[in-house]
Amino acid sequence: MAVVYPDIIGEYIDRPVRYAVDGIQYVGYFEPDTIAPEQVSHLILFLQNMTNAPGTVHIRLVLPHSGGFFKKGPPLLRVQQRLVQVKLAPAEAGVLTIPVTTTPQVTAGEHPVTVEMKVIRAKGRAERVRPPQAQSQLKSGFLDSLVGLNLVATLGATYTEKSAKKADFPLKIAGDPNPPERAPKMEPNYQTIWKEEDYQSLVKAVREIQEREVKFQEELTLEGLYATLYAESTTRFADAGLPLRIGEAIVMGKILTYCAQYFLSNPQRRRGLLVPIWELALAEEMDTTDVLQVIRTAGYYHLVKLAVALSFGLVAKAIKQQPWSLVERQTLAGYIAECLETGQNLEVDFLYLPLLTAGAFISNKLKLKGETPAHTLALLQKAYEARVDLFADAEMETADRIFRQILNAALKQAGATS
């Protein structure tokens, strides 16, 4: 392959095995995966053209029926269109959403929808621009999934293609009939999520980072990162309705700095941190002369998302288990980053879970010039005790217990009393 384009599917969904037909990869699932009779679910199909030639994908849905194989009865599920066509440009990736609901004949249980795929291409040679199998370059004991972290385009995803002209996607039906208040929209919808022209923005970002490597090393020091991220965090959290107390601000600056250094310390992870930031900065025509200024403006959202994901991994290492599901962690990473980017109110629980909890864990590992970690941790403990509404919900009892456990261990290690 003369040019290898980035994988896009892996940013949205983790599927080690991907179906493929005539140079088109596809994976899918139902969202939600369980509905009551008369409700609507959506079949989500990700499509990715692995070649440099356009193609039209013909998608035919085969719905489950009542009765046996030899005595087929009425269908159990209903769609507006059983045949959908999607035109894919060279290297294009997109997502097709197909609403699916039940018929009066539906029964409780798991019902597969079969997707049959056929690709029509114009005459001519189609050459690959993405490999049939790949291995992610990211090696990290703290991150168990790259989905949603804007890392896959630079670091890749791990997958293998499986040739399949059709595949089954199960939908579970359970509960009593629950008709929607309004007639649902049943039209299929296709949305492009990556096109060939987008590759140039990635190339441009990579080129600028490579050309300014020395300047990056000079400016992205521990002290420079901490001062920048401390100042930006105090502003962002205040805008989100959570003014930080001094101990919280120090530890927040430390955990974000720790995350930045974790990614900067490895050539592959370094690209994962910096390339998406510079892509955004260049797309918005920002002045990128001041590296730290770019990090605090164009890069804060990306860094916070990475820090939340990394923090959950650090907490799991500290207590030797992962109490939260991957979906919970991914949802929270997006939610916290979005609140801090847009100024939406952020609940105080998610100041501590997971960022300040992980910050307490690494506080003794990342020592600032002139800092006494024991004093920093004591200030964090004081701030925690002053947050009377923190972890008030019974569902947050586990988070409260884990924070106190990690903080007390850190205080003990620092030579302070809890």
Average pLDDT over residues 134-143: 91
Looking only at the bridges linking them, the beta strands covering 55-62 and 83-88 are antiparallel
Per-residue model confidence (pLDDT) at position 417: 45
Q: Give the global pTM.
A: 0.94
Under 8 Å between Cβ of 275 and 283: no
Cis amide leading into 354 (omega within 30): yes
What tokens were used for 407?
A: 């903080």
Model confidence pLDDT, tens digit, residues 351-379: 999 999 999 999 999 999 999 999 999 99
CA distance 184 to 398: 39
Q: How far apart are CA 304 and CA 209, in angstroms?
A: 21
pLDDT, position 141: 86
Rounded mean pLDDT of 243-254?
Answer: 99
Q: How confident is the model at residue 139 (pLDDT cuts 50, 70, 90)?
A: confident
pLDDT (mean) for 5-26: 98
Q: Which residues pair with 47 in a beta bridge?
A: 26, 94
**Percent of the chain having pLDDT more than 70?**
98
Band (254; pLDDT cuts 50, 70, 90): very high
- Amino acid 277 reads I
**What is d(CA 201, CA 204) in angstroms, rounded to the nearest whole number?**
5
The residue to which tokens 């929808």 are assigned: 113
Q: What mean pLDDT do residues 58-78 have?
A: 88
CATH 3.30.70.600 fits 9-196, yes or no: no
Residue spans per domain, the chain:
9-196, 200-413
The predicted model gives 317-333 an average pLDDT of 97
Instruction: Provide the β-strand partners of residue 102.
Output: 77
In which band, very low, low, confident or very high, does the pLDDT at 68 lie, cut at 50, 70 and 90? low
Query: Does residue 349 carry a pLDDT above 60?
Result: yes
Q: In sequence order, what are the beta bridge partners of 60?
A: 83, 116
Give the model confidence (pLDDT) of 45-56 as tens digits: 999 999 999 999
% residues pLDDT > 90 (the chain):
94
